[in-house]
Homo-oligomer: A and B are copies of this chain.
Amino acid sequence: MLINTGTELLLGNVQDAHLAFIAREIFPLGLRIEERRTVPDSEAIRHTLAELFPRCEILFVTGGLGPTSDDITRDMVADSLGLELHQDPQLLASLRQKLKIRGIKWAAGIARQSDVPAGAQVLPNENGSAPGLYLKANINPRIPSPHVFVLPGPPRELQPMFRKFVLPILHSIIRAPLSVERRLYRIAGVGESLVEETIGEKILAIPGIELGYCARPGEVEVRIIGEPKAIKQADAIIQSSLRVSIFSTADETLEEVIVKLLTKRNQTLATAESCTGGLIANRVTNVPGASRVFVAGYVCYANRAKTNMLDVDAKLIETHGAVSEPVARALAERARACAGSDYALATTGIAGPTGGSPEKPIGTVYVALASAASETIAKKFFFPADRETFKQLAAQAALDLLRRQILES
C-alpha cells in the first residue's frame, strides 16, 4: 500500500510521481502496490494510517517531512504508532553542515527534520535535508502495524534513497523467490485497437496470463504478467506479430533507443524543428551520453529563421508554404549539410490553436529524414490535438521514422 500525503496533491497543484517509481522498483521483488491513497496534510493521515495498518504488510508513506508548518507526516506516523520523537544530534549536525555547503540560511523549522521516532531506523537523504524513516512491523508491540517506510516528497530525494536504502531492507523482509514474471513492450506506429486485434485473443488463450494495454501519445504499451512458461509463449506471439513496431522490451523511451542505436553505429544526428519547437532535441539530450550522437538542433520557428539558419530558399517557402513536403525535405537536407551529421530530422506543421486553413488544417505535419546512405524520406501526418499533444505526436513520429530507417540500413 502507498499513502501519498500532501494537500497540494489534492488541490491539483502538483502531480505525484512516486506511485510509478515505487511500483517499478518493487516489482522485481514480487511486490505489487495493491492500492494507493492520496490524502491531505491533516488528520486524514492519521485515519488512513489506522485504516491501512491491519490491511497490508508493507506501507509506504510519502511527503510531509519538510521544514514548513504543513509538514506533519513524521508526527502523525509516530503518534499513530504510539512512539515518542527524539532529536537525533548526529542528524542535526549533518543538517547544519549540508545547508552550509549549499549556502542556504538556517531557518527555524529545519531542526524538526532531525526528530526520529523511538526505535525507527534513519534512511539518509543524500539529495536533500529531510531523512526518511523505516519502522519495522509491530515496532510498538501494543499496536499491530506493518513495515512502514516514511519517505520525503521530492522525487529527486526519494528515488536515490529508495534504491540505496529501502530496497536492501525490502530484500531482507521478502525472502520468497519470485515465481511470476513481467514483460513490457513499447510499440510505435500502430494504434491501441489494432494492437489488441493483432495479439489479444491469442494471448488471452494462454492460461494464467494477465494482459494489459496502455496508450500514450504516439505509442502503445503492452504488458504481460504470468508464470515463466506462459510468458515465454506469449512473448513469442507478440514478437512475431508486432516485430519492428516494438521499439523496446526494456522499458526504454524512443529517444533512449535511438541514442543507443546511433552510439553503436558511431553515427550522428541533427534536427531542424519548426512545429516541434525543440522537443525532439530536448528529448534526445535528456538521454545520458547524447553528446556522442547529437550534434546540433535548429529550432527554426519563424520563417525568416528557416532561411537565416539553414539557408532554405525563401522562394520554396513562398511557393509551397512553410508547412509543406518540399520545405520539410529542404530543412532536413540543409540541417544535415550544415551540421555535418549522418542523419537529420525535420518537422514543419500547424500546432494550433490558430493558423489552420481548409487545405492545411490544424494538426497537419510533415516529417522528413535526410541521411548519408539513402534518399531523403518525407511523410505527412494529421494529428488533430491540443498543442502539447500535437508536439509529442509529431516528435514521436519523427523519432520512429529515424528508428526504422537506422534498423533498415
Contact = CB atoms under 8 A, between A and B. Distances in A.
Contact of A223 (B11, B191, B288, B309): B11
18 contacts: A6-B214, A9-B19, A12-B23, A13-B20, A14-B20, A15-B17, A37-B38, A70-B212, A108-B197, A277-B285, A278-B285, A282-B282, A282-B391, A285-B301, A286-B387, A290-B301, A297-B297, A304-B340
Nearest to A385: B156
Given A13-B221, A196-B68, A304-B295, A309 B285 contact: no
Contact of A212 (B41, B108, B156, B200): B41
A291 interface: yes
B277 A296 contact: no
A59 interface: no
Contacts of A8: 212-214, 221, 223
A236 interface: no
A105 interface: yes
A27 B296 CA distance: 44
Contacts of A21: 12
Contacts of A291: 301-302, 355
A55 to B, nearest CB: 11
A294 B286 contact: no
Interface of A: 6-17, 19-24, 27, 32-41, 44, 48, 66-70, 104-105, 107-110, 127, 154, 156, 182, 184, 191-194, 196-197, 200, 204, 210-217, 221, 223, 271, 273, 276-282, 284-286, 288, 290-291, 294-302, 304-305, 308-309, 338-340, 351-355, 385-389, 391
A286 B295 contact: no
B277 A282 contact: yes
Given A156-B386, A192-B68, A216 B11 contact: no
A107 B194 contact: yes
A130 to B, nearest CB: 11
A340 B354 CA distance: 25
Given A156-B389, A296-B308, A10 B37 contact: no
B105 A308 contact: no
Copies of this chain, tallied across the complex: 2
A117 B192 CA distance: 25
A297 B278 contact: yes
A388 B286 contact: yes
Nearest to A25: B12
A389 B290 CA distance: 16
A11 B23 contact: yes
Given A294-B301, A302-B291, A386-B156, A286 B391 contact: yes
B308 A301 contact: no
Contacts of A194: 104-105, 107
Contacts of A68: 192-193, 196, 200, 213
A78 to B, nearest CB: 22
A193 B104 contact: yes
Contacts of A351: 285
